[in-house]
Each structure stands twice: as C-alpha cells, then as structure tokens.
C-alpha cells in the first residue's frame, strides 16, 4: 500500500465490540475495487461519536441503531442538526421495517441486522463513491 494512495476514514459506533468487528470484517481494507482504502475509527459511546465528528476528518459514519444506552438513530439526527457539514451516515437497524426511522434520523442509508457483508460493503462503497465525487467536484 502506497502512502499516497487515497484513503477514507469511516467511524464505526456500537456499544458492542462484536458488531464493530463485523462491520470492519465486512468492509475489509476496501469495500469495492473502485473506492479508496479504508481507515477505521471505532467508538463505543455517544460522547466519542460527537467528539470524533466535531474534530472532522471522518468521511462516513456507521452508527448502530441498536446501541445502548444511546442508539445510532438519535445520534444521527443530532449530528445532522448540530454538526456543520456532517459526514454521510449509514445506520445499522434492527429490522428492515425500521427503515422509516432511518429517514427520520436523516441518515443517507440503512442496513439491517444481521449484517450481510455483501449488502453492507455495497452500501458503503456507494456512499464512498458519492463522497469521492464531491471531493473532486470541489
């Protein structure tokens, strides 16, 4: 891996270490051949999510809607309302029927538990392509 190769930073929030690991393993170093390499920031608390996003440098946030005590849906809505130029958010939701809650939370995408690595990688790769297009357009 070249140090000049483009990278994107993905924040992964869940209170469950196993969920964070499933996300990392599903995405690997590069979720699709045509997107940059991925660097992960893993966090387990609401405060850590806000701190990381406030600091900037996160390209995509993946938030666990089933996390406790603060779920990713509420955090997503807070982030979209309070953080200037918040990154795109993908929510991990409990059931496909909860997709409307992802819309309420202002998340750009949602994937339901249990995590299907192909579905998650495809959704994140699409978000990365859009993010990359915005970078090159500016």
Q: H/E/C letters for each residue in the chain?
A: CCCCCCEEEEEEECCCHHHHHHHHHHHCCCCCCCCCEEEEEEECCHHHHHHHHHHCCCCEEEEECCCCCCCHHHHHHHHHHHCCCCCCEEEEECCHHHHHHHHHCCCCEEEECCCCHHHHHHHHHHHHHHHHHHHHHC
In angstroms, the CA 83 to CA 69 distance is: 21
Q: Which residue has the higher pLDDT, 63 or 3?
A: 63
The predicted pLDDT at position 3 comes to 62
The predicted pLDDT at position 96 comes to 77
> Which fold does the domain 7-137 belong to in CATH?
Rossmann fold (3.40.50)
The residue extents of the domains of the chain are 7-137
Pairing of strands 37-43, 7-13: parallel
In angstroms, the CA 16 to CA 63 distance is: 11
Q: pLDDT tens for residues 77-93?
A: 999 999 988 999 999 99
The predicted pLDDT at position 133 comes to 86
Percent of the chain scoring above 70 in pLDDT: 97
Q: pLDDT tens for residues 85-133?
A: 899 999 999 887 777 888 889 999 999 999 999 999 999 999 999 998 8
pLDDT of residue 16 exceeding 60: yes
Percent of the chain scoring above 90 in pLDDT: 81
Q: pLDDT tens for residues 39-97?
A: 999 999 999 999 999 999 999 999 999 999 999 999 999 999 999 889 999 999 988 77
pLDDT of residue 1 exceeding 90: no
């Amino acid at each position: 891996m070249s140090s000049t190769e483009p990278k994107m930073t993905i924040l992964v929030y869940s209170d469950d270490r196993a969920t964070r690991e499933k996300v990392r393993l599903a995405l690997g170093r590069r979720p699709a051949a045509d997107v940059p390499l991925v660097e992960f920031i893993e966090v387990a608390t609401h405060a850590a999510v806000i701190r990381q996003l406030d600091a900037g440098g996160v390209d995509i946030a993946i938030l666990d809607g089933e996390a406790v005590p603060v779920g990713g849906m509420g955090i997503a809505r807070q982030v979209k309302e309070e953080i200037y130029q918040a990154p795109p958010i993908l929510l991990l939701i409990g059931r496909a029927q909860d997709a409307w809650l992802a819309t309420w939370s202002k998340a750009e995408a949602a994937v339901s538990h249990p995590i299907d690595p192909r579905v998650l990688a495809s959704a994140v790769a699409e978000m990365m392509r859009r993010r990359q297009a915005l970078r090159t357009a500016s």
